[in-house]
């Protein structure tokens, strides 16, 4: 089995690796301008944001520090409820720091809204959000603004580029919708 065999489980490929990397370079350019002269800490949300953190960080041509958080969001089915538990906290004291949260995908935005207010309570200089992908619910009604958005996706369960189905497919280089035969 190789990567193309895994891709056979997708009904649609939404974005290829090349498209994702080009978009991240564009976002990195904006981030460099916006944070010129400021220190920057990017915070990846495990596990999904591993790929986007790695590629975004390497698209930046300036110094950046990286840290990680892991949270679990309780919900019914595939939708989160906004009730969040920290599984792994930051190693860094963020007071007075410029923090950019890096996410793989925002769906309802409830997990992220909780995370932003949690980080804001620690006295950072700023907290902004960068996400590789965004679903329609988040685009329509998310309470906290998302400064950097890679791509908007339809309201379908997608995998690849860090996103999983039962912990699989994270290593796919593209992002696509899982074909129905995978569930049955
Ligand atoms: P909320 O709804 O709080 O949840 O924005 C965001 C988290 O939900 C997961 N998520 C997905 N994971 N394919 C996935 O593999 C999807 O289509 C999907 N939609 C939401 C993901 O963990 C994200 O951080």
Is 115 part of any domain?
yes
Question: 37 alpha carbon to ligand 1 midpoint, in Å?
Answer: 33
Is 2 part of any domain?
no
Q: Which residue has the tokens 């920057």?
A: 40
Question: 7 alpha carbon to ligand 1 midpoint, in Å?
Answer: 20
Is 158 part of any domain?
no
Provide the pLDDT for residue 153.
Answer: 96
Is 181 part of any domain?
no
Provide the pLDDT for residue 75.
Answer: 62
**Ligand 1 atom with minimal separation from the 113 CA:** 3
Is 7 part of any domain?
no
Told to judge if 9 belongs to the known catalytic residues of this protein, a careful annotator would answer no
Pocket (CB within 6 angstroms of ligand 1): 48, 73, 80, 103-112, 138, 157-159, 163-164
Neighbour count for residue 39 (Cβ, 10 Å): 13
Question: 109 alpha carbon to ligand 1 midpoint, in Å?
Answer: 9
Provide the pLDDT for residue 94.
Answer: 98
Q: Which residue has the tokens 């919708």?
A: 177
Neighbour count for residue 50 (Cβ, 10 Å): 17
Residue range(s) defining the domain that contains residue 132: 18-153
CATH code at position 128: 3.40.50.2020
CA 111 to chain CA centroid, Å, is: 11
CA separation for the pair 69, 47 (Å, rounded):
9
**Pocket perturbation via mutation, ligand 1, pick of 137, 163, 177 by most ligand atoms within 8 A of CB:** 163
Provide the pLDDT for residue 34.
Answer: 98
- Given the residues 9, 55, 104, 107, select the one marked as catalytic: 107
Q: What is the ipTM of this complex?
A: 0.90
Per-residue confidence in pLDDT tens, the chain, 184 aa: 666 788 899 999 999 999 999 999 999 999 999 999 999 999 999 999 999 999 999 999 999 999 999 998 766 555 666 678 999 999 999 999 999 999 999 998 988 999 999 999 999 999 999 999 999 987 777 778 999 999 999 999 999 999 999 999 999 999 999 998 887 7
Q: Is 164 exposed, middle or buried (0-12, 13-18, 19+ CB in 10 A)?
A: middle
Token pair for 40: 């920057």
For 98-126, what is each residue's pLDDT tens digit? 999 999 999 989 889 999 999 999 999 99
Is 8 part of any domain?
no
Is 160 part of any domain?
no
Is 12 part of any domain?
no
How many domains would you assign to the chain? 1
């Amino acid at each position: 089995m190789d990567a193309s065999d895994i891709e056979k489980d997708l009904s649609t490929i939404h974005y290829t690796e090349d498209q994702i990397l080009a978009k991240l370079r564009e976002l990195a350019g904006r981030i460099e301008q916006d944070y010129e002269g400021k220190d920057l800490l990017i915070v990846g949300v495990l596990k999904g944001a591993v790929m986007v953190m790695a590629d975004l960080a390497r698209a930046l041509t300036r110094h950046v520090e990286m840290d990680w958080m892991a949270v679990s969001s309780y919900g019914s089915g595939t939708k989160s409820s906004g009730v969040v538990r920290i599984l792994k906290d930051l190693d860094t004291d963020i007071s007075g720091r410029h923090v950019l949260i890096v996410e793989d995908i925002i769906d309802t935005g409830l997990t992220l809204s909780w995370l932003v207010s949690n980080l804001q309570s620690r006295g950072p200089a700023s907290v902004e959000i960068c996400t590789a992908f965004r679903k329609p619910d988040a685009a329509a009604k998310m309470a906290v603004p998302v400064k950097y958005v890679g791509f908007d996706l339809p309201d379908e369960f997608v995998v690849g580029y860090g996103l999983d189905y039962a912990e699989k497919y994270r290593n796919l280089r593209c992002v696509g919708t899982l074909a129905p035969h995978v569930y049955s």
